[in-house]
Amino acid sequence: DGGITQSPKYLFRKEGQNVTLSCEQNLNHDAMYWYRQDPGQGLRLIYYSQIVNDFQKGDIAEGYSVSREKKESFPLTVTSAQKNPTAFYLCASSDWYSGNTIYFGEGSWLTVV
Amino acid sequence: DAKTTQPPSMDCAEGRAANLPCNHSTISGNEYVYWYRQIHSQGPQYIIHGLKNNETNEMASLIITEDRKSSTLILPHATLRDTAVYYCIVRVGSSNTGKLIFGQGTTLQVKP
């Protein structure tokens, strides 16, 4: 089945450590996205990539970094510079041929301890 | 992207139709109406989208008023598993910049 796989589902990080969240899609979608969701809040866009080897900052990119070396992969690194990293992180993808409808993964919970 | 307004919560009896309204009075001509739902601790699930015409798929129907200023998502036979937060979003259909403005949504509680 095609879909978006995020891992790990739950992650604990010590303050000062970088962590990387994995996102893989087998939908052959060109565009991929990372969002952050805080409890009871809507989604905020961190980074997006419209094509391999290219990405742009979203609304809250500070303290995060991404790479897009392969079409199917868009990992997110939460750096120690991110002051309040505890949140629910969502990866998504879309494709022009599907009307650019955005499809989401199941999310990753990051907790700083 | 235009702003949307939804009621904060609604109840529906199991087996009955759930009608979830959304107001988007500032929608532009090239903006589509999208509906997603989110069950706690899961990623948002795409339901349906439309531009002007009413749309139907295996999950739901979308009714858009002629002036496009409001729409209604219809779940024809609600089940307990349809309990979730439902989000109505408007965005430019050709955009792949990922900009999605999720409001507070409507919490739908389906009751036995």
Q: pLDDT digit string (tens) for B48-94?
A: 999 998 999 999 999 999 999 999 999 999 999 999 999 999 887 66
Q: Is the CB of A90 inside 8 Å of chain B's CB atoms?
A: yes
The minimum CA-CA distance between B109 and chain A, rounded to whole Å, is 16
The minimum CA-CA distance between A81 and chain B, rounded to whole Å, is 24
Q: Is the CB of A16 inside 8 Å of chain B's CB atoms?
A: no
The Cα A75–Cα A46 span in angstroms is: 12
- Choosing among A29, A35, A43, A51, which should be mutated to test the B contact, i.e. which has the most B CBs within 10 A? A43
| Sign for the pseudo-dihedral over CA of A54, A58, A61, A66 | negative
Tens of pLDDT along A35-73? 999 988 888 999 999 899 999 999 999 999 999 999 999
Is the distance from CB of B73 to CB of B88 less than 8 angstroms?
Answer: yes
Q: Tell whether the model's pLDDT for residue A1 goes beyond 70.
A: no
3-state secondary structure of A70: strand
User: What was the pLDDT predicted at B8?
Assistant: 94
**Mean pLDDT across A21-27:** 97
Q: Tell whether the model's pLDDT for residue A88 goes beyond 90.
A: yes
The Cα B57–Cα A39 span in angstroms is: 30
Cross-strand pairs, A6: A23
Is the distance from CB of B49 to CB of B94 less than 8 angstroms?
Answer: no
Q: Is the CB of A38 inside 8 Å of chain B's CB atoms?
A: no
Ramachandran sector of residue A83 (left: φ over 0; alpha: ψ -120 to 50; beta: rest): alpha
List Cα–Cα distances, A76 to A33, A35, A48, A69, in angstroms.
Answer: 10, 10, 10, 12
User: What was the pLDDT predicted at B94?
Assistant: 66
Q: Tell whether the model's pLDDT for residue A96 goes beyond 80.
A: no
The minimum CA-CA distance between A101 and chain B, rounded to whole Å, is 8
CB atoms A94 and B34 under 8 Å: no
